[in-house]
Amino acid sequence: MNRLERGSGTTTNSSSSIGIESDTSPSNGVFIKGLPESATEGRLKKVFSQFGEVSQVKVVVEKMSKQLLGSAFVWFTSKKSAQLAEEEMNGKFFDGRFILVKIAEPGLSKSRRRRTRYKF
């Protein structure tokens, strides 16, 4: 990710210090919703690898019970692969359920946090 340093007029490349950022950038990934509880990272990697090289898969689980929440993220090594996966898999039948597949966008989970003025 390039950013402009204040006052210097130069850009720095912060992704070089973090090796995985380029592989897991949101635009290279898809968000999948509506998965059955039987969905595994291995199965998702196998199915989505037909659209390109999969760099990482993360099934979303509830923190306390470790129960699958029916959603996952799949990251590809290229943006084109992610777009192809979205086009081909969105609305399709996967292991007995229709799934929603969208390009992953940064910050979605953070914006859904419940905000309250009360401190607990």
**pLDDT tens, position by position, 33-76:** 999 988 999 999 999 999 999 999 999 999 899 888 999 999 99
pLDDT of residue 7: 44
By CB atoms closer than 10 A (0-12, 13-18, 19+), residue 27 is middle
Pairwise CA distance, residues 92 & 99, whole Å: 6
**pLDDT tens, position by position, 6-39:** 444 443 333 333 333 444 555 799 999 999 988 9
Q: State which H helix or E strand residue 41 sits in.
A: helix 41-48
Domains held by the chain: number: 1
pLDDT of residue 106: 77
pTM of the full structure: 0.68
**Is residue 74 situated within a structural domain?**
yes
**Is residue 10 situated within a structural domain?**
no
**Is residue 82 situated within a structural domain?**
yes
CB 55 within 8 A of CB 77: yes
CB 52 within 8 A of CB 81: yes
Of 107, 111, 30, 43, nearest to 72 by C-alpha is 30
